[in-house]
Amino acid sequence: MNSGKFESIRKKIEQGDRLNRQDAEALFKWPDILDVGELAHLVRTGLHDDRAYYVVNRHINYSNICVNGCAFCAFGKRPGDPEAFELAVEDIIGKLNEPGSHAITEVHIVGGCHPELPFDYYEEIIRAVKSWRPDVIVKAFTAVEIAHIASREGKSVAWVLERLKDAGLDMLPGGGAEIFAPSVRARICPAKISGDEWLEVMRTAHRLGIKSNATMLFGHLESFHDRIDHLLKLRDLQDETGGFVCFIPLPFLAKKSPLRDIPGPTGVDILRTIAVSRLVLDNIPHIKAYWVMLTVKLAQLALFFGADDFDGTVIEEKIGHMAGAESEEALTREEIEYLITSAGFRPVERNSFFEPLTK
Ligand code: V47
């Protein structure tokens, strides 16, 4: 690529113009990632100055039993597998009552596509968490779980979302998007809903006033073209609904996953992908450096490559760690603030919707 192309992209960014597919391709090919990072940092700083957000939250997995059997996933287990588990609603509340969870403002609840759990169970989880603490934000069930629950109940996605919203659901997490390209999904997650179905669940959620995040799993069998296509589809839906709060690029962790022969993305590829995401997704306000998958050291660097959010305290994490994540399972508020401050940014505690919280 010649430097003229890079300069034309720089100009677009400086003028606030939208990048197109060719621009994104050029950014993936440009040899110096520091140039790409500099542009992403310009955008990130324009939006968020020196703020780096974090949330005091807790993850809870209600079950890892899953009928999908995705090739990249070490978390999901078939029914009867010795590592399969399923929590009763009381167990979930028990986790919230453990020391360390008292200050959380968000509960992130996800599981697999369970073949048998009744609809009441999902409603009860949300009601129980809300009665544990009415002001805690419940971010629960990926678009994949919502579609699965709807299909098991023989109801529409809108019906499921409306019922869960009535029970107290505040927001959907961004998981399960993987990569939208059908040819790659056919190899890594053939039983999962299609990318278009994932987008349709999110469209419905946003129409019903339920905001969500969005993810992209990268560094497995997909091409740069597939990544760009994924980002552009999210950007198109965001133009339509405005319902995405934050985008989370998830580097594939291969080590203990069924696809363990694939090396997974390098650090440079991860930083470049975060930067390109910031530059292409001009209508999604926040980009998360999810330290669990990135490691805290790379997450710090990601703050210079377009990311503005460090995610959270998490407390208990299974999806990444069962796949071989090398990070801790939890960070304290003080540790996160130290990591952000020592990278030269200003830590801002936020709620799930990125409203700043004063301590
Ligand atoms: O949906 C599964 C991915 C996701 C692997 O919305 C893997 O705020 C890497 O979505 N290597 C779960 N990734 C994590 C997630 C998330 C995390 C934090 C915050 C939010 C949010 C969402 O992890 C899954 C899947 O896409 N995943 N296996 C793996 N081997």
Rounded-to-integer distance, Cα 40 and Cα 258, Å:
34
Say if 6 falls within a structural domain: no
Our answer on whether the CB atom of 215 is closer than 6 Å to any ligand 1 atom is yes
Strand partners, 251: 218
Ligand 1 center from residue 5 Cα (angstroms)? 34
Say if 277 falls within a structural domain: yes
CATH of the domain at 145: 3.20.20.70
Say if 215 falls within a structural domain: yes
Rounded-to-integer distance, Cα 208 and Cα 192, Å:
24
pLDDT at 89: 98
**Domain range for 278:** 20-346
Q: How many domains does the chain have?
A: 1
Say if 8 falls within a structural domain: no
Say if 2 falls within a structural domain: no
**Ligand 1 atom closest to the CA of 73, numbered from 1:** 28
Q: Whose CA is nearest to atom 14 of ligand 1?
A: 175
Please tell me whether 310 is known to bind a ligand. no
Rounded-to-integer distance, Cα 175 and Cα 195, Å:
12
Describe the crossing of helices 143-153 and 119-132 by its angle, rounded to 10 degrees.
130
Please tell me whether 70 is known to bind a ligand. yes
The best mutation among 58, 66, 73, 180 to test binding of ligand 1, ranked by most ligand atoms within 8 Å of the C-beta, falls on 73
230's CB contacts (< 8 A; 6+ apart) are 177, 179, 180, 181, 195, 216
Please tell me whether 72 is known to bind a ligand. yes
Say if 3 falls within a structural domain: no
Our answer on whether the CB atom of 248 is closer than 6 Å to any ligand 1 atom is yes
pLDDT at 3: 87
Query: Across the 359 residues of the chain, what is the mean pLDDT of every consecutive 10-residue run?
Result: 90 98 98 98 98 98 98 96 97 95 96 98 98 98 98 98 98 98 98 98 98 98 98 98 98 93 96 98 98 97 98 96 94 97 98 92
Say if 161 falls within a structural domain: yes
Say if 284 falls within a structural domain: yes
pTM score, two decimals? 0.98
pLDDT at 2: 79
Our answer on whether the CB atom of 216 is closer than 6 Å to any ligand 1 atom is no
pLDDT at 359: 63
Please tell me whether 73 is known to bind a ligand. yes
SS3 call for 16: coil
pLDDT at 5: 93
Our answer on whether the CB atom of 174 is closer than 6 Å to any ligand 1 atom is yes
Q: Whose CA is nearest to atom 16 of ligand 1?
A: 175
